[in-house]
Amino acid sequence: MTQEATKTRTKTQLTYPQRFNVIIFNDDFTPMEFVIKLLVEVFNKNVTSAKELTMEVHNNGQAVAGNYNFEIAEQKCAEGISIARQNSHPLQLKTQPVE
């Protein structure tokens, strides 16, 4: 009787977690200065890129404020909306999966 050695191979496949965009929407009531301040404080943008992003929101109706994993995107979205409401602004932010 002979014994055979059996070898097993395991393959590990790493996948990165899905990314989400935080979208900021234009409205006719929130001042541009507030949006710039929000982008600097919450989304860690420098003043120049915050101004450019604010103009994109104004001209196109929306823009991507940042790209994060799910938990951070939800947190940034909630934080931005909370700050806007505390300052009586109807600014809207939403998360959207990156495709």
DSSP type of residue 88: T
Q: Where are the domains of the chain?
A: 31-97
The per-residue pLDDT for 83 is 97
Give yes or no for residue 1 having a pLDDT over 70: no
59: Cα separation from own chain's centroid: 20
* Element spanning 66, H or E: strand 62-69
The per-residue pLDDT for 87 is 97
Is it true that domain 31-97 has CATH number 3.30.1390.10? yes
Q: What is the pLDDT of residues 86-98, one digit of tens each?
A: 999 999 999 999 9
Residues 29, 89: contact at Cβ < 8 Å? yes
- Among 77, 64, 70, 61, which Cα is nearest to 97's? 70
The per-residue pLDDT for 5 is 79
Q: What is the pLDDT of residues 28-74, one digit of tens each?
A: 999 999 999 999 999 999 999 999 999 999 999 999 999 999 999 99
Token pair of 94, please?
């939403």
Residues 23, 97: contact at Cβ < 8 Å? no
